[in-house]
Homo-oligomer: A and B are copies of this chain.
Amino acid sequence: MASLDRSLIAGLGPFDSLTPEALDQVLARARSARYAKDSSVFEENAEAHSFFLLLDGRIRVVRTTPHGDQVIARYIGDGELFGIAAAIGRTTYPATAMCAVDCVVLAWPTEAWADLAARFPSFAGSTFRTIGNRLQETQSRVVEMATEQVGQRVALAVLRLVRQAGRKTPEGLEIDFPISRQDIAEMTGTTLHTVSRLLSAWEDEGIVKSARQKITVIDPHRLMVISEHRAGA
């Protein structure tokens, strides 16, 4: 099996400031894999055998309730770690990782975590910072859900997606992976119907432009205003 090239991960957040030798050592424990769009990298509650780095693609992290409702916890972009249950002492994955597009990932066996963390403190530190940021961000979503109404929450979600995955086009900032009304509903705790109505209204006002599984933000500033002001004009 050909060994992985260190340029794959050099300069990525978690491996920033590692020497070339260190990068090789880290990669020696990893295997790479491709996953097709709509396949899952791991499933909620499954044994956490590995942790992952997304090299290319976009991953949707989803939790399912006993009643069958799905909630999207977050989207993972390239260069980000995911499935890092091991780092926090869990033995199962807390959510399912679905590929929103075809994905390429690196995977390390869970057993390698302690060793890598000990040998490369900057890697461990970066991982914990990631977890901390996600805690922060999740906390913010609780606050949002508790205090903002649906229109504001959807506006915030779209803005967040654009910030994370926005691609400049002649028309505006386009979210660079396929995303449905249903997906946005699952991110914001509402229904696809409500999301559809909101996006239609915003499209009439020239704030966004949307097609099947595609959203382009034309006027981010006005979307921000909507996300802040309770009851918009």
Q: Say whether B69 contacts A135, CB under 8 Å.
A: no
Q: Known contacts A131-B135, A138-B135, A230-B67; is A89 also within 8 Å of B143 by CB?
A: no
Partner of A90, one of B125, B132, B146, B189: B132
Prevailing SS type, chain A contact patch: helix
A87 in contact (CB, < 8 A): yes
Could you give, for residues 175-191 of chain A, a 1 whenever the CB lies within 8 Å of some chain B CB and a 0 otherwise?
Answer: 00000000000101100
Partner of A94, one of B67, B136, B189: B136
Q: Say whether A142 contacts B142, CB under 8 Å.
A: yes
A63 in contact (CB, < 8 A): yes
Q: 10 A-B contacts, Cβ less than 8 Å apart?
A: A63-B139, A63-B143, A88-B131, A89-B125, A90-B136, A95-B139, A128-B128, A135-B138, A142-B142, A142-B189
